[in-house]
Amino acid sequence: MKFQLRVITPESVALDEQCDMVIVRCVTGDMGFLARHEATSAILGDGGLRIINDKAERKMRVPGGIVQFKDDVLTILTTGALVESA
């Protein structure tokens, strides 16, 4: 099962796609998300996202922000986003 990932910066929607799993760096440690995860929100630490889709992994760097998972949509609000690897 997949869920929607949205990474939003003040300038644009940096990413909006379906994925299998996302691991984010929060201020309290890493947090992983799969489809049907319970609704939650957290503060992101400076670090990255690991985006896993169809057994391939990509990384995206974000300088902190807020993460929210609700109704199979993972929304990340951040001041910037940079894809590190594809």
Checking if the pLDDT of 48 tops 90, the result is no
Domains of the chain: 3-85 (2.60.15.10)
**Is 80 exceeded by the pLDDT of residue 86?**
no
Residues paired with residue 32 on neighbouring β-strands, in sequence order: 23
pLDDT averaged over the chain? 94
Q: Alpha-carbon Rg of the chain, whole angstroms? A: 11
Amino acid at 62: V
How many Å apart are CA 64 and CA 75, to the nearest integer?
13
Has residue 60 got a pLDDT over 80? yes
pLDDT tens-digit readout, 3-18: 999 999 999 999 999 9
| Confidence label for 85 from pLDDT (cuts 50, 70 and 90) | low
The pLDDT of residue 24 is above 70: yes
pLDDT score recorded for residue 5: 98
